Structure formats: structure tokens, C-alpha cells
Amino acid sequence: KNLLANRVKTLTPSSTLAITAKAKALKEQGIDVIGLGAGEPDFNTPQNILNAAIDSMEKGFTKYTPAGGLPVLKQAIIDKLQRDNNLTYKANEIIVGVGAKHILYTLFQVILNEGDEVIIPIPYWVSYPEQVKLAGGVPVYVEGTREQGYKITADQLRAAVTGKTKAVIINSPSNPSGMIYSREELAEIAAVAEEKDILIVSDEIYEKLVYNGIEHFSIAQLSAAVKARTIVVNGVAKSHSMTGWRIGYAAGNADIIKPMTDLASHSTSNATTTAQYATVEAYNGPQDTVEEMRQAFESRLEKIYPQVSAIPGFHVLKPQGAFYLLPDVAEAMAHTGYDSVDAFAAAILTEANVAVIPGSGFGAPTTMRLSYATSLELLEEAVRRIDAFVKSKW
Ligand code: PLP
């Protein structure tokens, strides 16, 4: 008898975590591996946030909170959305959950019926397709090519919509490409969403990591009508270097937020109370550490981008946000005798001792993702190693 549910039969583990585990195993054997797989900032959580967490525990705030989040945290999020994004929400339009990842999981559970389609731009964050499938939905992929800056166009979106389409996911700044949709591009996409009456899931987790003077713009800012069909998903993991605290949230129509909260009340209950208090401080406290971390990422990017571009057969667009580079390595693979990016990345790991994430997990199988959430010294050494590896096989 098969004891497993059908829904897990096609479930694949996160490719990001797989290579990281392999790199860790090599490190344990004493091999000096440089990991460029990281999906998290390499800074400590700022001290004022740690202090707020400790303070809340000492005051005895260690019990359950409402399933959808502490009122004081919802207010801090409401203030943040107003201050940073010029978006006005009420408390019943906010849910706090266990990281943006689980917020997205809950969202798809709430909006999808069996067979409903969700449009996912390629290259995508690994968890979107799996989460959609776990909710009974069907991922429909639309390719944002390198020539298009790894973004989809409104025409592509229109062509992909069917009678079963429920939503489109927009992740800007993007993991893995680091690209950002301009206000005009978002307006065109939103127009299609309105014309076709579909929801917009706007994953803005990398909002604070934008470079070259670019300002983040949320698609929900376009108009009240667009806001009404958009669920903004965000969190403090990347902005405040709080990945392990597991706090994320959604802001959107109360008709969607309410069942998400009800579902959370039967699955997670509230996100960890201490982490919620820490997040209150993250949003209400001083924001200078957020900017300092952003600047550190930007200066690394400025140094490392030309070096990665100079590796033979690597074609890489300059990212505008997040902390990833996504070189297209088709030419490098062709010249070094690898026919899949998984094999190429595996060889880079075992022969050059650098862990990179193959783009096959992002729907972009001629690319690989290099995270620059590590020190400049290690980054430069990693690039030297990859460069030497490619040249030795050319
Ligand atoms: N969305 C994207 C695009 C991400 O890259 C990540 C984290 O890797 C998340 C959401 C999830 O963030 P959290 O740590 O808040 O669950």
C-alpha cells in the first residue's frame, strides 16, 4: 500500500538547498569550498532588533498572539506600507505569517481550486511552482528572456491567460535575475490583469535591495483598482537580515486575508511571538542599518560584476536589485564540454570548489545563480576559481 499522498509524488526539494548541502558536506571533509549559493544576507540582525526581542521576552511576552499577528505589529506594517510605498491598508487587510514563503503557501491554498492556473514568469523563484501545485493549481510558465531583461511583457501575459487563470506572480526585484520592472512595465501588466480579471501576487521581499539610484515601486501603487486585485507579499528577511526569524506578511483585500488568517489559525497559529516583537522594532526603529547593508551589497556588485562578465562564455546582465548575478553560461558550457548546467555546476563545485546554483531550478537551464551575499574577498577568490576552471577546459 502506498502510504504517501499523491500531492507529494511530484514534489522536488528546493534546488537551492540541495547544492548548499553538498557544499557543506565537502567543507566537512576539509575542502575549502566557497559558497555562492546563499539566499540570505551575511550580516547579523541589527542590535536594536535583538534588544527588542530580548526585552519582549523579559517582559513575559512569550505567549500566543492572534493567529494573523500582533495588533502592534500589524500597525507597524501598516505604517511601513504607508511610509515606504504610499499604500494605505487597514488591520483586517494584513496577515503576519511564518516568513514570506509560508505566506505565499497560504495564499495559494486560499485562492486556488483544482486546475486553476497561475502565471509564473521564467526565471522564477524555486518555490512558486511547487506551492501552486500543492494547492491543486497549475503553473503556466512565461519566459522572460535575457533579451527582455528576464522580464515578461504585457503581450506575453495576455497570450498566456486562459479562462482558468487565477493570478500572475510578479517578483520585483527578482530572485534569481535581480531585475526590476519599471513603473511603465508594471502599468502594462496591471492593465492586462484588469482586462482579464486576474489577481496579481506581488512578491516584494527584495524591495530594500535596489541599486544605482533606482527606487522600488509596488504595482499596488498604480491605482485603487490595481491595489484591490493585488496581494503584496513582503517581509524582513532580506531587508533587515532576519531570515531565521521567519516573519513575512501579506497586504491585500480583506476577503482574501480573512481566509488566510483562518487557515493559519489551524496550521501555524501565530508566527513566533518573540520574532513578531523583533519585527515591530525592525519597522518602527531606526532604518540606517538597512541602508548600510544595501550599500555593502551595491559596492560588492560594482566590484564583482565586471569580473564575472569577463569570464569566457559568461553573459550577464547587470542586476538592479537583490543580491544575485545570473550569468547565461550556454557558450561557456558549449566550449568546455558540459551539456547541462547541473553537470557544469557540479563540476564547478568539485573541481573549482565554488558552490553555485544551477538555473535549471529556476526554469532557466542555461544560467546559474551566484549570490554576492558573502565577503568581497571570498567573492573575488570564487570568481578567480571559476575563471581558471573555465579557461582550463576551453
Ligand atoms: N520570495 C522570494 C523571491 C525569495 O527569494 C524568498 C527567500 O528566499 C522568499 C520569498 C521567502 O522569504 P522568507 O524568508 O520571508 O520566507
How far, in Å, is the centroid of ligand 1 from the Cα of 248? Answer: 9
Mutate to test the pocket of ligand 1, among 128, 175, 179, 206 (most ligand atoms within 8 A of CB): 175
Report the share of the chain in percent with pLDDT over 70: 100
H or E element, residue 187: helix 183-196
Angle at 217 between CA 138 and CA 299, to 5 degrees: 105
Say whether pLDDT at 8 is over 90: no
pLDDT at position 20: 80
pLDDT at position 159: 98
How far, in Å, is the centroid of ligand 1 from the Cα of 126? Answer: 10
Say whether pLDDT at 18 is over 80: no
Strands of the sheet with 248-251, listed across from one edge: 94-97, 248-251, 230-235, 199-203, 165-171, 117-122, 138-143
Ligand 1 neighbour 243 (Cβ under 6 A): yes
Predicted confidence (pLDDT) per residue in 118-168, tens digit? 999 999 999 999 999 999 999 999 999 999 999 999 999 999 999 999 999
Predicted TM-score (pTM) above 0.90: yes
In the chain, the domains with their CATH numbers are 6-44+289-393 (3.90.1150.10), 61-284 (3.40.640.10)
- Say if residues 380 and 302 touch (Cβ distance below 8 Å): no
How far, in Å, is the centroid of ligand 1 from the Cα of 100? Answer: 6
Give which of 271, 348, 278, 346 is closest to 313, Cα–Cα: 348
How far is residue 235's CA from residue 58's CA, in Å, rounded to a whole number?
25
Ligand 1 neighbour 242 (Cβ under 6 A): no
Say whether pLDDT at 36 is over 90: yes
Q: What is the ipTM of this complex?
A: 0.99
Ligand 1 neighbour 101 (Cβ under 6 A): yes
How far, in Å, is the centroid of ligand 1 from the Cα of 176? Answer: 11
Predicted confidence (pLDDT) per residue in 297-343, tens digit? 999 999 999 999 999 999 999 999 999 999 999 999 999 999 999 99
CA 68 from chain centre, in angstroms, equals 22
Ligand 1 neighbour 327 (Cβ under 6 A): no
How far, in Å, is the centroid of ligand 1 from the Cα of 228? Answer: 23
Ligand 1 neighbour 98 (Cβ under 6 A): no
Ligand 1 neighbour 248 (Cβ under 6 A): yes
